[in-house]
Structure 1
Amino acid sequence: MAGRQEAVMRAFWVVLFVWAAAAEAAEPLSLAEAVRLALAHAPEMRAKALDREAAIKQARVALASVLPIVRARLSAMRTDQRYRFDVPRPFLTPRVKATQTAAELEIVQPLVRLDRWAVKREGEIGKTLAELAFTWAREQLISEVVARWGKARAAEEALRAAEKRLKAAQTAARAAEVRYQTGAGTKPELLLARARQKEAEAAAFAAREQWRLARARLESLIGRKVEALGAADLPIRLPEGWVERARTDALSARIAHQKEALAEASVQEALGQALPGLD
Protein backbone atom coordinates (compact mmCIF):
# COMPACT_ATOMS: atom_id res chain seq x y z
CA MET A 1 0.00 0.00 0.00
CA ALA A 2 2.81 2.38 0.89
CA GLY A 3 4.59 1.59 -2.38
CA ARG A 4 1.44 2.39 -4.35
CA GLN A 5 1.03 5.74 -2.61
CA GLU A 6 4.66 6.57 -3.31
CA ALA A 7 4.19 5.75 -7.00
CA VAL A 8 1.07 7.93 -7.16
CA MET A 9 2.89 10.86 -5.54
CA ARG A 10 5.83 10.44 -7.90
CA ALA A 11 3.52 10.46 -10.91
CA PHE A 12 1.78 13.54 -9.53
CA TRP A 13 5.05 15.46 -9.24
CA VAL A 14 6.10 14.40 -12.74
CA VAL A 15 2.82 15.64 -14.20
CA LEU A 16 3.12 18.88 -12.24
CA PHE A 17 6.66 19.44 -13.51
CA VAL A 18 5.67 18.76 -17.12
CA TRP A 19 2.69 21.09 -16.79
CA ALA A 20 4.85 23.87 -15.34
CA ALA A 21 7.42 23.46 -18.12
CA ALA A 22 4.69 23.53 -20.77
CA ALA A 23 3.14 26.63 -19.21
CA GLU A 24 6.51 28.36 -19.15
CA ALA A 25 7.17 27.47 -22.78
CA ALA A 26 3.71 28.64 -23.86
CA GLU A 27 4.20 32.06 -22.29
CA PRO A 28 5.48 34.63 -24.84
CA LEU A 29 9.21 35.12 -24.47
CA SER A 30 10.26 38.76 -24.17
CA LEU A 31 13.69 39.98 -25.21
CA ALA A 32 14.73 40.80 -21.64
CA GLU A 33 13.71 37.33 -20.47
CA ALA A 34 15.65 35.75 -23.34
CA VAL A 35 18.78 37.66 -22.31
CA ARG A 36 18.34 36.62 -18.68
CA LEU A 37 17.92 32.95 -19.59
CA ALA A 38 20.91 33.01 -21.93
CA LEU A 39 23.19 34.55 -19.29
CA ALA A 40 22.14 31.89 -16.80
CA HIS A 41 22.35 29.01 -19.30
CA ALA A 42 25.51 29.71 -21.31
CA PRO A 43 28.43 27.45 -20.27
CA GLU A 44 30.87 30.06 -21.56
CA MET A 45 29.63 32.59 -19.01
CA ARG A 46 30.13 30.11 -16.19
CA ALA A 47 33.65 29.41 -17.45
CA LYS A 48 34.45 33.12 -17.66
CA ALA A 49 33.10 33.62 -14.14
CA LEU A 50 35.40 30.87 -12.85
CA ASP A 51 38.34 32.42 -14.71
CA ARG A 52 37.56 35.75 -13.07
CA GLU A 53 37.47 34.19 -9.60
CA ALA A 54 40.78 32.44 -10.28
CA ALA A 55 42.35 35.71 -11.43
CA ILE A 56 41.15 37.48 -8.29
CA LYS A 57 42.73 34.80 -6.10
CA GLN A 58 45.92 34.90 -8.16
CA ALA A 59 46.10 38.67 -7.67
CA ARG A 60 45.89 38.14 -3.91
CA VAL A 61 48.73 35.63 -4.08
CA ALA A 62 50.81 38.08 -6.13
CA LEU A 63 50.14 40.81 -3.57
CA ALA A 64 51.59 38.59 -0.86
CA SER A 65 55.00 38.71 -2.58
CA VAL A 66 55.47 42.39 -1.65
CA LEU A 67 53.93 42.32 1.81
CA PRO A 68 56.16 42.27 4.91
CA ILE A 69 57.46 38.87 5.96
CA VAL A 70 57.12 38.10 9.65
CA ARG A 71 59.36 35.49 11.22
CA ALA A 72 58.95 34.45 14.84
CA ARG A 73 61.26 32.20 16.85
CA LEU A 74 60.80 30.91 20.38
CA SER A 75 63.34 28.80 22.22
CA ALA A 76 63.51 27.42 25.75
CA MET A 77 66.32 25.71 27.64
CA ARG A 78 66.06 24.05 31.04
CA THR A 79 69.17 23.29 33.11
CA ASP A 80 69.58 21.16 36.20
CA GLN A 81 73.06 21.37 37.74
CA ARG A 82 74.37 19.57 40.82
CA TYR A 83 77.37 20.74 42.84
CA ARG A 84 79.65 18.93 45.24
CA PHE A 85 81.67 20.68 47.91
CA ASP A 86 84.76 19.30 49.57
CA VAL A 87 83.67 20.96 52.73
CA PRO A 88 80.00 20.72 53.65
CA ARG A 89 78.27 24.08 53.30
CA PRO A 90 74.75 23.84 54.64
CA PHE A 91 73.79 27.34 53.51
CA LEU A 92 74.45 26.50 49.83
CA THR A 93 72.09 24.43 47.68
CA PRO A 94 73.91 21.60 45.96
CA ARG A 95 71.36 21.58 43.13
CA VAL A 96 70.40 24.49 40.84
CA LYS A 97 67.53 24.42 38.38
CA ALA A 98 67.08 27.12 35.75
CA THR A 99 64.93 27.71 32.69
CA GLN A 100 66.01 30.11 29.96
CA THR A 101 63.59 31.31 27.29
CA ALA A 102 64.23 33.47 24.26
CA ALA A 103 61.79 35.00 21.81
CA GLU A 104 62.63 36.68 18.52
CA LEU A 105 60.36 38.54 16.10
CA GLU A 106 61.65 39.62 12.70
CA ILE A 107 59.80 41.68 10.10
CA VAL A 108 61.27 41.90 6.61
CA GLN A 109 59.88 44.35 4.06
CA PRO A 110 61.09 43.97 0.45
CA LEU A 111 62.36 47.34 -0.72
CA VAL A 112 64.32 46.97 -3.92
CA ARG A 113 62.86 43.79 -5.39
CA LEU A 114 61.74 44.77 -8.85
CA ASP A 115 60.72 41.23 -9.77
CA ARG A 116 58.29 40.96 -6.84
CA TRP A 117 56.66 44.28 -7.61
CA ALA A 118 56.37 43.18 -11.23
CA VAL A 119 54.64 39.96 -10.12
CA LYS A 120 52.20 42.06 -8.10
CA ARG A 121 51.54 44.21 -11.15
CA GLU A 122 51.01 41.12 -13.29
CA GLY A 123 48.44 39.85 -10.81
CA GLU A 124 46.53 43.13 -10.93
CA ILE A 125 46.59 43.19 -14.72
CA GLY A 126 45.50 39.55 -14.90
CA LYS A 127 42.55 40.35 -12.65
CA THR A 128 41.57 43.30 -14.85
CA LEU A 129 41.91 41.19 -17.99
CA ALA A 130 39.70 38.47 -16.52
CA GLU A 131 37.04 41.03 -15.61
CA LEU A 132 37.20 42.56 -19.09
CA ALA A 133 36.99 39.11 -20.68
CA PHE A 134 33.91 38.33 -18.59
CA THR A 135 32.28 41.61 -19.60
CA TRP A 136 33.24 41.05 -23.23
CA ALA A 137 31.73 37.55 -23.25
CA ARG A 138 28.59 38.88 -21.57
CA GLU A 139 28.12 41.65 -24.12
CA GLN A 140 28.84 39.28 -27.00
CA LEU A 141 26.24 36.85 -25.69
CA ILE A 142 23.67 39.61 -25.24
CA SER A 143 24.36 40.81 -28.77
CA GLU A 144 23.89 37.29 -30.13
CA VAL A 145 20.65 36.83 -28.19
CA VAL A 146 19.31 40.14 -29.49
CA ALA A 147 20.21 39.17 -33.05
CA ARG A 148 18.63 35.71 -32.84
CA TRP A 149 15.57 37.02 -31.03
CA GLY A 150 15.15 39.67 -33.73
CA LYS A 151 15.43 37.08 -36.50
CA ALA A 152 12.96 34.83 -34.72
CA ARG A 153 10.57 37.76 -34.28
CA ALA A 154 10.84 38.63 -37.98
CA ALA A 155 10.26 34.98 -38.91
CA GLU A 156 7.24 34.84 -36.62
CA GLU A 157 5.73 37.95 -38.20
CA ALA A 158 6.49 36.60 -41.68
CA LEU A 159 4.73 33.35 -40.76
CA ARG A 160 1.65 35.21 -39.56
CA ALA A 161 1.54 37.22 -42.78
CA ALA A 162 2.00 34.07 -44.88
CA GLU A 163 -0.80 32.30 -43.01
CA LYS A 164 -3.10 35.27 -43.59
CA ARG A 165 -2.28 35.25 -47.30
CA LEU A 166 -2.92 31.51 -47.37
CA LYS A 167 -6.33 31.94 -45.77
CA ALA A 168 -7.17 34.67 -48.27
CA ALA A 169 -6.03 32.46 -51.17
CA GLN A 170 -8.08 29.53 -49.85
CA THR A 171 -11.14 31.76 -49.57
CA ALA A 172 -10.59 33.07 -53.10
CA ALA A 173 -10.17 29.51 -54.43
CA ARG A 174 -13.42 28.38 -52.79
CA ALA A 175 -15.22 31.40 -54.19
CA ALA A 176 -13.84 30.68 -57.67
CA GLU A 177 -14.99 27.06 -57.31
CA VAL A 178 -18.52 28.19 -56.42
CA ARG A 179 -18.64 30.68 -59.29
CA TYR A 180 -17.43 28.05 -61.73
CA GLN A 181 -19.98 25.49 -60.56
CA THR A 182 -22.81 28.01 -60.81
CA GLY A 183 -21.67 29.16 -64.23
CA ALA A 184 -20.69 32.64 -63.05
CA GLY A 185 -16.98 31.98 -63.45
CA THR A 186 -14.67 30.56 -66.06
CA LYS A 187 -12.24 27.66 -66.01
CA PRO A 188 -9.14 29.91 -66.30
CA GLU A 189 -10.30 31.93 -63.29
CA LEU A 190 -10.65 28.73 -61.26
CA LEU A 191 -7.22 27.46 -62.30
CA LEU A 192 -5.64 30.82 -61.49
CA ALA A 193 -7.22 30.84 -58.02
CA ARG A 194 -6.00 27.31 -57.37
CA ALA A 195 -2.49 28.22 -58.55
CA ARG A 196 -2.41 31.20 -56.20
CA GLN A 197 -3.55 28.94 -53.38
CA LYS A 198 -0.67 26.54 -54.09
CA GLU A 199 1.77 29.45 -54.12
CA ALA A 200 0.40 30.66 -50.80
CA GLU A 201 0.72 27.15 -49.35
CA ALA A 202 4.34 26.93 -50.48
CA ALA A 203 5.09 30.39 -49.05
CA ALA A 204 3.45 29.46 -45.75
CA PHE A 205 5.45 26.22 -45.60
CA ALA A 206 8.71 28.11 -46.24
CA ALA A 207 7.80 30.73 -43.61
CA ARG A 208 6.97 27.99 -41.11
CA GLU A 209 10.35 26.34 -41.67
CA GLN A 210 12.14 29.67 -41.28
CA TRP A 211 10.30 30.23 -38.00
CA ARG A 212 11.26 26.77 -36.75
CA LEU A 213 14.91 27.33 -37.67
CA ALA A 214 15.07 30.78 -36.05
CA ARG A 215 13.29 29.47 -32.97
CA ALA A 216 15.70 26.52 -32.67
CA ARG A 217 18.70 28.86 -32.88
CA LEU A 218 17.24 31.00 -30.11
CA GLU A 219 16.38 27.96 -27.98
CA SER A 220 19.98 26.75 -28.19
CA LEU A 221 21.06 29.93 -26.40
CA ILE A 222 18.42 30.14 -23.70
CA GLY A 223 18.01 26.43 -22.95
CA ARG A 224 14.21 26.18 -23.14
CA LYS A 225 11.41 25.78 -25.65
CA VAL A 226 9.85 28.83 -27.27
CA GLU A 227 6.30 28.85 -28.58
CA ALA A 228 5.80 32.59 -29.06
CA LEU A 229 7.72 35.82 -28.65
CA GLY A 230 6.70 38.76 -26.51
CA ALA A 231 7.75 42.38 -26.37
CA ALA A 232 11.18 43.79 -27.18
CA ASP A 233 11.53 45.28 -23.70
CA LEU A 234 15.32 45.52 -23.52
CA PRO A 235 16.12 49.24 -23.08
CA ILE A 236 18.98 50.54 -25.20
CA ARG A 237 20.18 54.04 -24.36
CA LEU A 238 23.11 55.74 -26.03
CA PRO A 239 24.90 58.18 -23.70
CA GLU A 240 26.09 61.56 -24.82
CA GLY A 241 29.38 61.50 -26.65
CA TRP A 242 29.08 57.76 -27.18
CA VAL A 243 31.28 57.83 -30.27
CA GLU A 244 34.29 59.22 -28.40
CA ARG A 245 33.60 56.96 -25.44
CA ALA A 246 33.48 53.97 -27.77
CA ARG A 247 36.91 54.85 -29.11
CA THR A 248 38.50 55.19 -25.68
CA ASP A 249 36.44 52.84 -23.48
CA ALA A 250 35.72 50.05 -25.95
CA LEU A 251 36.39 46.64 -24.44
CA SER A 252 38.67 45.64 -27.29
CA ALA A 253 40.80 48.76 -26.76
CA ARG A 254 40.91 48.28 -22.99
CA ILE A 255 41.91 44.63 -23.37
CA ALA A 256 44.68 45.64 -25.78
CA HIS A 257 45.98 48.23 -23.29
CA GLN A 258 45.97 45.68 -20.47
CA LYS A 259 47.85 43.15 -22.60
CA GLU A 260 50.45 45.79 -23.35
CA ALA A 261 50.79 46.58 -19.65
CA LEU A 262 51.10 42.86 -18.89
CA ALA A 263 53.96 42.56 -21.37
CA GLU A 264 55.72 45.52 -19.76
CA ALA A 265 55.30 43.96 -16.31
CA SER A 266 56.80 40.70 -17.60
CA VAL A 267 59.83 42.63 -18.86
CA GLN A 268 60.22 44.30 -15.46
CA GLU A 269 59.99 40.93 -13.73
CA ALA A 270 62.73 39.49 -15.92
CA LEU A 271 64.88 42.58 -15.32
CA GLY A 272 64.28 42.41 -11.58
CA GLN A 273 65.45 38.81 -11.46
CA ALA A 274 68.73 39.87 -13.03
CA LEU A 275 69.31 42.88 -10.75
CA PRO A 276 70.38 42.69 -7.10
CA GLY A 277 67.64 43.08 -4.52
CA LEU A 278 67.40 44.76 -1.15
CA ASP A 279 65.04 43.55 1.56
Structure 2
Amino acid sequence: HGAAALAHYMAALTGRAERRVREALARLPDGSYQAEERLDDGSPLRVRIAIGGERAVVDFAGSAGVHPGNLNATPAIVRSVVLYVLRLLVDEPLPLNEGLMRAVELHIPAGILNPHFPEDSSRAPAVVGGNVEISQRLTDTLLKALRLAACSQGTMNNVLWGSPRFGYYETVCGGAGAGPGFAGADAVHTHMTNTRITDPEIVEVRYPVRVERFAIRRGSGGAGRWRGGDGVVRELLFLEPMSLSILSQHRIERPYGMEGGEAGQPGRQRVVRASGEVVELGAIDGCEIDAGDRLILETPGGGGWGIPRESV
Protein backbone atom coordinates (compact mmCIF):
# COMPACT_ATOMS: atom_id res chain seq x y z
CA HIS A 1 0.00 0.00 0.00
CA GLY A 2 2.99 2.31 0.38
CA ALA A 3 4.29 4.64 3.07
CA ALA A 4 1.78 7.39 2.31
CA ALA A 5 -1.21 5.10 2.79
CA LEU A 6 0.27 3.70 6.01
CA ALA A 7 0.88 7.19 7.40
CA HIS A 8 -2.66 8.21 6.43
CA TYR A 9 -4.28 5.39 8.38
CA MET A 10 -1.98 5.81 11.37
CA ALA A 11 -2.96 9.48 11.51
CA ALA A 12 -6.62 8.50 11.22
CA LEU A 13 -6.33 6.11 14.19
CA THR A 14 -4.59 8.62 16.44
CA GLY A 15 -6.94 11.40 15.35
CA ARG A 16 -10.00 9.29 16.12
CA ALA A 17 -8.64 8.42 19.57
CA GLU A 18 -7.97 12.09 20.30
CA ARG A 19 -11.49 13.09 19.23
CA ARG A 20 -13.12 10.41 21.39
CA VAL A 21 -11.16 11.50 24.47
CA ARG A 22 -12.03 15.15 23.85
CA GLU A 23 -15.71 14.24 23.47
CA ALA A 24 -15.63 12.24 26.72
CA LEU A 25 -13.98 15.10 28.62
CA ALA A 26 -16.47 17.60 27.20
CA ARG A 27 -19.34 15.52 28.62
CA LEU A 28 -18.02 16.10 32.14
CA PRO A 29 -18.82 19.37 33.91
CA ASP A 30 -15.86 21.74 33.99
CA GLY A 31 -14.17 21.79 37.36
CA SER A 32 -11.75 20.05 39.69
CA TYR A 33 -12.06 16.34 40.49
CA GLN A 34 -9.95 15.22 43.44
CA ALA A 35 -9.29 12.04 45.37
CA GLU A 36 -6.88 10.54 47.86
CA GLU A 37 -6.09 6.93 48.65
CA ARG A 38 -3.57 5.56 51.12
CA LEU A 39 -1.32 2.54 51.01
CA ASP A 40 -1.42 0.14 53.93
CA ASP A 41 1.59 1.94 55.45
CA GLY A 42 -0.24 5.28 55.27
CA SER A 43 1.59 6.70 52.24
CA PRO A 44 -0.85 8.95 50.33
CA LEU A 45 -1.65 8.89 46.63
CA ARG A 46 -3.38 12.12 45.58
CA VAL A 47 -4.74 13.33 42.27
CA ARG A 48 -6.44 16.49 41.07
CA ILE A 49 -8.03 16.42 37.61
CA ALA A 50 -8.87 19.87 36.27
CA ILE A 51 -11.28 19.63 33.34
CA GLY A 52 -11.98 22.57 31.08
CA GLY A 53 -13.87 21.95 27.87
CA GLU A 54 -12.13 19.22 25.91
CA ARG A 55 -8.91 19.22 27.91
CA ALA A 56 -7.74 17.89 31.27
CA VAL A 57 -4.77 18.53 33.54
CA VAL A 58 -3.95 15.57 35.79
CA ASP A 59 -1.81 16.58 38.77
CA PHE A 60 -0.43 14.16 41.37
CA ALA A 61 0.89 16.83 43.75
CA GLY A 62 0.63 15.81 47.39
CA SER A 63 1.45 12.16 46.79
CA ALA A 64 4.05 10.55 49.03
CA GLY A 65 7.77 11.09 48.74
CA VAL A 66 10.15 8.40 47.56
CA HIS A 67 9.13 5.14 49.23
CA PRO A 68 11.75 3.47 51.44
CA GLY A 69 10.63 0.04 50.23
CA ASN A 70 9.89 -1.22 46.74
CA LEU A 71 6.60 0.62 46.10
CA ASN A 72 7.98 3.37 43.88
CA ALA A 73 6.46 3.86 40.45
CA THR A 74 7.85 5.67 37.39
CA PRO A 75 6.32 8.26 35.04
CA ALA A 76 5.83 5.50 32.46
CA ILE A 77 3.68 3.55 34.93
CA VAL A 78 1.70 6.67 35.85
CA ARG A 79 1.15 7.51 32.19
CA SER A 80 -0.09 3.98 31.54
CA VAL A 81 -2.60 4.28 34.39
CA VAL A 82 -3.94 7.61 33.09
CA LEU A 83 -4.22 6.22 29.58
CA TYR A 84 -6.11 3.18 30.88
CA VAL A 85 -8.60 5.32 32.81
CA LEU A 86 -9.15 7.53 29.76
CA ARG A 87 -10.10 4.43 27.78
CA LEU A 88 -12.61 3.55 30.50
CA LEU A 89 -14.00 7.08 30.32
CA VAL A 90 -14.42 6.84 26.54
CA ASP A 91 -16.12 3.43 26.92
CA GLU A 92 -15.50 2.44 23.32
CA PRO A 93 -13.02 -0.05 21.86
CA LEU A 94 -10.05 1.97 20.63
CA PRO A 95 -6.62 0.82 19.46
CA LEU A 96 -3.94 1.81 21.94
CA ASN A 97 -2.12 4.86 20.57
CA GLU A 98 -0.67 8.24 21.52
CA GLY A 99 -3.75 10.13 20.34
CA LEU A 100 -5.47 9.16 23.59
CA MET A 101 -3.15 11.47 25.55
CA ARG A 102 -3.10 14.55 23.31
CA ALA A 103 -5.83 16.34 25.25
CA VAL A 104 -4.25 15.58 28.64
CA GLU A 105 -1.43 17.34 30.48
CA LEU A 106 0.34 15.38 33.23
CA HIS A 107 2.07 16.82 36.30
CA ILE A 108 4.05 14.17 38.21
CA PRO A 109 6.12 15.71 41.01
CA ALA A 110 9.23 14.04 42.38
CA GLY A 111 8.42 11.33 44.89
CA ILE A 112 6.83 7.91 44.93
CA LEU A 113 5.49 8.37 41.38
CA ASN A 114 8.61 9.98 39.95
CA PRO A 115 11.72 9.04 41.96
CA HIS A 116 15.21 10.18 41.04
CA PHE A 117 17.54 7.44 39.79
CA PRO A 118 21.20 8.22 40.58
CA GLU A 119 24.05 6.94 38.44
CA ASP A 120 25.03 4.61 41.28
CA SER A 121 22.44 1.87 40.79
CA SER A 122 23.03 0.54 44.31
CA ARG A 123 21.36 3.72 45.61
CA ALA A 124 18.44 3.68 43.17
CA PRO A 125 14.90 3.39 44.59
CA ALA A 126 13.20 0.01 44.21
CA VAL A 127 10.26 -0.04 41.80
CA VAL A 128 9.09 -3.65 41.48
CA GLY A 129 6.09 -3.02 43.73
CA GLY A 130 5.31 0.17 41.85
CA ASN A 131 4.61 -1.81 38.71
CA VAL A 132 2.33 -4.43 40.24
CA GLU A 133 0.84 -2.61 43.26
CA ILE A 134 1.01 1.18 42.86
CA SER A 135 -0.38 0.90 39.34
CA GLN A 136 -3.46 -0.78 40.84
CA ARG A 137 -3.85 1.68 43.71
CA LEU A 138 -3.36 4.66 41.41
CA THR A 139 -6.04 3.38 39.03
CA ASP A 140 -8.54 3.23 41.87
CA THR A 141 -7.55 6.76 42.93
CA LEU A 142 -8.37 8.14 39.48
CA LEU A 143 -11.61 6.15 39.29
CA LYS A 144 -12.55 7.59 42.69
CA ALA A 145 -11.92 11.15 41.52
CA LEU A 146 -14.04 10.67 38.40
CA ARG A 147 -16.63 8.57 40.26
CA LEU A 148 -16.55 5.89 37.59
CA ALA A 149 -16.56 2.82 39.85
CA ALA A 150 -15.99 1.61 43.38
CA CYS A 151 -12.59 0.29 44.35
CA SER A 152 -11.57 -3.15 43.13
CA GLN A 153 -9.22 -5.39 45.10
CA GLY A 154 -6.43 -2.92 44.28
CA THR A 155 -3.60 -5.45 44.44
CA MET A 156 -2.17 -8.35 42.49
CA ASN A 157 -1.57 -10.44 45.64
CA ASN A 158 1.94 -11.43 44.56
CA VAL A 159 2.97 -14.77 46.07
CA LEU A 160 6.51 -16.12 45.65
CA TRP A 161 7.99 -19.32 47.00
CA GLY A 162 11.07 -21.36 46.27
CA SER A 163 14.44 -22.74 47.31
CA PRO A 164 17.92 -22.93 45.75
CA ARG A 165 16.45 -25.69 43.57
CA PHE A 166 13.35 -23.94 42.18
CA GLY A 167 11.26 -20.79 42.25
CA TYR A 168 7.64 -19.90 41.55
CA TYR A 169 5.66 -16.65 41.31
CA GLU A 170 1.92 -16.18 40.98
CA THR A 171 -0.62 -13.39 41.24
CA VAL A 172 -4.04 -14.10 42.70
CA CYS A 173 -7.41 -12.68 41.70
CA GLY A 174 -9.93 -10.87 43.89
CA GLY A 175 -13.15 -8.86 43.77
CA ALA A 176 -13.98 -6.14 41.25
CA GLY A 177 -15.61 -2.89 42.28
CA ALA A 178 -19.25 -2.26 41.44
CA GLY A 179 -20.47 0.70 39.40
CA PRO A 180 -23.65 2.51 38.40
CA GLY A 181 -25.87 -0.26 37.08
CA PHE A 182 -23.56 -3.25 37.52
CA ALA A 183 -22.25 -5.48 40.28
CA GLY A 184 -18.57 -6.25 40.63
CA ALA A 185 -17.31 -9.58 39.31
CA ASP A 186 -16.10 -12.28 41.69
CA ALA A 187 -12.62 -13.80 41.57
CA VAL A 188 -11.05 -11.84 38.72
CA HIS A 189 -7.99 -9.73 38.07
CA THR A 190 -8.88 -6.12 37.31
CA HIS A 191 -7.37 -3.03 35.73
CA MET A 192 -3.56 -2.95 35.46
CA THR A 193 -2.85 -6.64 35.03
CA ASN A 194 -2.15 -9.15 32.30
CA THR A 195 -1.55 -12.41 34.16
CA ARG A 196 -3.34 -15.69 34.64
CA ILE A 197 -2.74 -18.20 37.38
CA THR A 198 -1.11 -21.56 36.68
CA ASP A 199 -3.39 -24.60 36.56
CA PRO A 200 -3.24 -26.53 39.86
CA GLU A 201 -2.29 -29.74 38.05
CA ILE A 202 0.80 -28.05 36.62
CA VAL A 203 1.77 -26.57 39.99
CA GLU A 204 1.47 -29.93 41.71
CA VAL A 205 3.40 -31.84 39.05
CA ARG A 206 6.31 -29.41 38.89
CA TYR A 207 6.64 -28.27 42.51
CA PRO A 208 6.46 -29.82 46.01
CA VAL A 209 3.21 -27.98 46.68
CA ARG A 210 -0.44 -29.03 46.78
CA VAL A 211 -3.34 -26.68 46.05
CA GLU A 212 -5.74 -27.68 48.82
CA ARG A 213 -8.39 -25.02 48.19
CA PHE A 214 -9.15 -22.31 45.64
CA ALA A 215 -12.63 -20.90 46.22
CA ILE A 216 -14.65 -17.70 46.15
CA ARG A 217 -14.48 -15.84 49.46
CA ARG A 218 -18.21 -15.40 49.92
CA GLY A 219 -19.36 -12.14 51.48
CA SER A 220 -16.07 -10.28 51.04
CA GLY A 221 -17.51 -7.83 48.48
CA GLY A 222 -19.01 -4.61 49.82
CA ALA A 223 -22.78 -4.36 50.08
CA GLY A 224 -24.61 -1.87 47.89
CA ARG A 225 -27.45 -1.46 45.46
CA TRP A 226 -24.88 -3.11 43.22
CA ARG A 227 -22.64 -5.35 45.27
CA GLY A 228 -18.86 -5.49 45.02
CA GLY A 229 -17.29 -8.69 43.75
CA ASP A 230 -16.00 -11.31 46.16
CA GLY A 231 -12.33 -12.18 46.55
CA VAL A 232 -10.95 -15.71 46.80
CA VAL A 233 -9.44 -18.07 49.35
CA ARG A 234 -6.34 -19.95 48.22
CA GLU A 235 -4.75 -22.59 50.44
CA LEU A 236 -1.40 -24.19 49.62
CA LEU A 237 0.23 -27.14 51.38
CA PHE A 238 4.04 -27.21 51.21
CA LEU A 239 5.76 -30.60 51.07
CA GLU A 240 9.34 -29.50 51.75
CA PRO A 241 11.20 -26.51 53.24
CA MET A 242 11.31 -23.29 51.19
CA SER A 243 11.07 -19.51 51.45
CA LEU A 244 7.77 -17.63 51.09
CA SER A 245 7.26 -13.95 50.19
CA ILE A 246 4.10 -11.84 49.89
CA LEU A 247 3.76 -8.48 48.13
CA SER A 248 0.26 -7.02 48.41
CA GLN A 249 -1.97 -4.12 49.47
CA HIS A 250 -5.44 -3.62 50.97
CA ARG A 251 -4.62 -5.62 54.10
CA ILE A 252 -5.39 -2.61 56.31
CA GLU A 253 -7.09 -0.09 54.03
CA ARG A 254 -10.41 -1.47 52.74
CA PRO A 255 -11.43 -1.11 49.07
CA TYR A 256 -13.79 1.88 49.11
CA GLY A 257 -17.46 1.83 48.15
CA MET A 258 -19.15 4.66 46.23
CA GLU A 259 -22.46 6.53 46.45
CA GLY A 260 -23.34 4.91 49.77
CA GLY A 261 -21.99 1.47 48.91
CA GLU A 262 -19.95 -0.31 51.56
CA ALA A 263 -16.24 -1.05 51.40
CA GLY A 264 -14.98 -4.50 50.49
CA GLN A 265 -13.23 -6.69 53.04
CA PRO A 266 -9.44 -6.35 53.23
CA GLY A 267 -7.19 -9.25 52.37
CA ARG A 268 -5.37 -11.46 54.83
CA GLN A 269 -2.65 -14.10 54.75
CA ARG A 270 -1.41 -16.50 57.37
CA VAL A 271 0.81 -19.54 57.63
CA VAL A 272 -0.53 -22.47 59.61
CA ARG A 273 2.42 -24.52 60.81
CA ALA A 274 2.34 -28.30 60.83
CA SER A 275 2.32 -27.97 64.64
CA GLY A 276 -0.90 -25.91 64.50
CA GLU A 277 0.77 -22.56 65.23
CA VAL A 278 -0.69 -19.68 63.19
CA VAL A 279 1.65 -16.96 61.88
CA GLU A 280 -0.11 -13.84 60.56
CA LEU A 281 1.71 -12.14 57.68
CA GLY A 282 1.53 -8.47 56.76
CA ALA A 283 0.85 -6.89 53.38
CA ILE A 284 4.54 -7.10 52.46
CA ASP A 285 6.06 -9.97 54.36
CA GLY A 286 7.69 -13.36 54.22
CA CYS A 287 8.88 -16.32 56.25
CA GLU A 288 10.60 -19.68 56.06
CA ILE A 289 8.38 -22.68 55.38
CA ASP A 290 8.77 -26.25 56.63
CA ALA A 291 7.22 -29.42 55.25
CA GLY A 292 3.58 -29.66 56.30
CA ASP A 293 3.05 -25.90 56.63
CA ARG A 294 0.13 -24.23 54.84
CA LEU A 295 -0.44 -20.76 53.40
CA ILE A 296 -4.03 -19.50 53.57
CA LEU A 297 -4.46 -16.41 51.41
CA GLU A 298 -7.70 -14.40 51.43
CA THR A 299 -7.87 -11.70 48.76
CA PRO A 300 -9.84 -8.43 49.06
CA GLY A 301 -13.40 -7.94 47.87
CA GLY A 302 -14.50 -5.02 45.73
CA GLY A 303 -16.44 -2.03 47.01
CA GLY A 304 -20.20 -1.71 46.52
CA TRP A 305 -22.04 1.05 44.65
CA GLY A 306 -25.17 2.76 45.96
CA ILE A 307 -27.08 2.42 49.21
CA PRO A 308 -28.02 -1.22 49.88
CA ARG A 309 -31.73 -1.81 49.23
CA GLU A 310 -32.27 -3.20 52.73
CA SER A 311 -31.03 0.13 54.15
CA VAL A 312 -33.41 2.29 52.11
Into which bin does the TM-score normalised by the smaller protein fall? under 0.3
Bigger CA radius of gyration: 1
Q: Indicate the structure with greater helix content.
A: 1
Answer 1 or 2: higher relative contact order, Cα 8 Å, separation at least 6: 1
Q: Indicate the structure with greater strand content.
A: 2
TM norm structure 2: 0.22
TM norm structure 1: 0.24
